Amino acid sequence: MVETWLTAFAKQAKSDWDVFRALGTFRFCHQLHYLQMATEKLAKAFLCVLDGQRPEGRHGAFVRFIQHSKLHRQVQGKYSMSRDQFRAFIDGLLPTAKLIEELAPAGDRDKPNPEYPWEHGGAVISPLTYSFATLQLGTPKMTKLLQFVGVCLDLLP
Task: Give the domains, in start order, of the chain with CATH numbers.
Answer: 5-107+137-155 (1.20.120)
Q: Determine the pLDDT at residue 75.
A: 92
pLDDT digits (tens, 9 = 90+) for 87-140: 999 999 999 999 999 998 776 678 899 999 999 899 999 999 999 999 999 999
pLDDT digits (tens, 9 = 90+) for 8-56: 999 999 999 999 999 988 999 999 999 999 999 999 998 887 666 676 6
3 state SS of 43:
helix
Which of 77, 95, 18, 13 shows the shortest CA–CA distance to 46? 13
Greater confidence, 48 or 59? Answer: 48
Query: What pTM did the predictor assign?
Result: 0.92
Query: How many whole angstroms separate alpha carbon 122 and alpha carbon 133?
Result: 21
